[in-house]
Chains A and B, each alone.
Chain A
Amino acid sequence: MGGLRTAKTKIVNCTHCGGANEVAARAMSVFCAHCRKRLILENYVIKSYQAVKGYATCGDVSVEKRGRVAAPIQSNSLTVKGKVNGKVEARGKVEVASTGSLEGSLKATSLIVVQGAKFDGYCEIRPTNKIAEDTKPAELVAPAQASARSTASNGVKKLSTTSADKKTTIATADAKAAELPAKKPSAKNSVAKKTTKKKAATKKVAAKKVTTRKSIASKAATKKKTVKKITTKSSSSASTPADKPKTIKAISTRRKSTASSK
Chain B
Amino acid sequence: MADPNNDYPTVIGPDASFKGELKFQKGMRLLGKFEGEIDSKGDLLIAEGANLAGDVKAGTVKIDGVMTGNLEAAGKVKLSASAHLEGDMRTARLEVADGAMFSGHVVVGAKDGASKGNGQAASAPASKGKSAPEPAVAGKR
Chain A residues near B (Cβ < 8 Å)? 87, 93, 96, 101, 105-106, 109-128, 130
Contact = CB atoms under 8 A, between A and B. Distances in A.
A112 B92 contact: no
Contacts of B107: 119-120
A113 B93 contact: yes
B109 A110 contact: no
Interface in B34-92: 79, 81, 89, 92
B3 interface: no
Given A110-B100, A116-B109, A117-B108, A122 B94 contact: no
Contact of B102 (A115, A120, A123, A128): A123
B50 to A, nearest CB: 19
A127 B109 contact: no
Contact of B106 (A101, A110, A123, A126): A123
A119 to B, nearest CB: 4
A119 B100 CA distance: 18
Contact of A127 (B101, B103, B108, B141): B101
Contacts of A120: 106-108, 110
Interface in B93-141: 93-110, 137-138, 140-141
18 contacts: A87-B141, A109-B99, A110-B96, A110-B99, A111-B94, A112-B95, A113-B95, A115-B109, A118-B110, A119-B106, A120-B110, A121-B106, A122-B137, A122-B141, A123-B89, A124-B102, A125-B101, A125-B102
Given A105-B141, A111-B102, 18 more contacts: A105-B137, A110-B97, A110-B98, A110-B99, A113-B94, A115-B109, A118-B108, A118-B110, A119-B94, A120-B108, A122-B103, A122-B138, A123-B89, A125-B103, A126-B103, A127-B99, A127-B100, A127-B101
Interface centre among B93, B99, B106, B141 (most CB of A within 10 A): B106
A112 B78 CA distance: 9
Interface of B: 79, 81, 89, 92-110, 137-138, 140-141
A125 B79 CA distance: 11
A163 to B, nearest CB: 26
Given A87-B141, A113-B93, A113-B94, A118 B109 contact: yes
Contacts of A113: 93-95, 108-109
A124 B79 CA distance: 13
Interface centre among A101, A111, A112, A128 (most CB of B within 10 A): A111
A127 B100 CA distance: 6
Contacts of B99: 109-110, 127
Contacts of B79: 125
A122 B106 contact: yes
B133 to A, nearest CB: 11
Interface centre among B89, B107, B109 (most CB of A within 10 A): B109
Contact of B104 (A87, A111, A123, A128): A123
Given A87-B141, A113-B93, A122-B138, A127 B106 contact: no
B98 A93 contact: yes
Nearest to A112: B95
Contacts of A118: 108-110
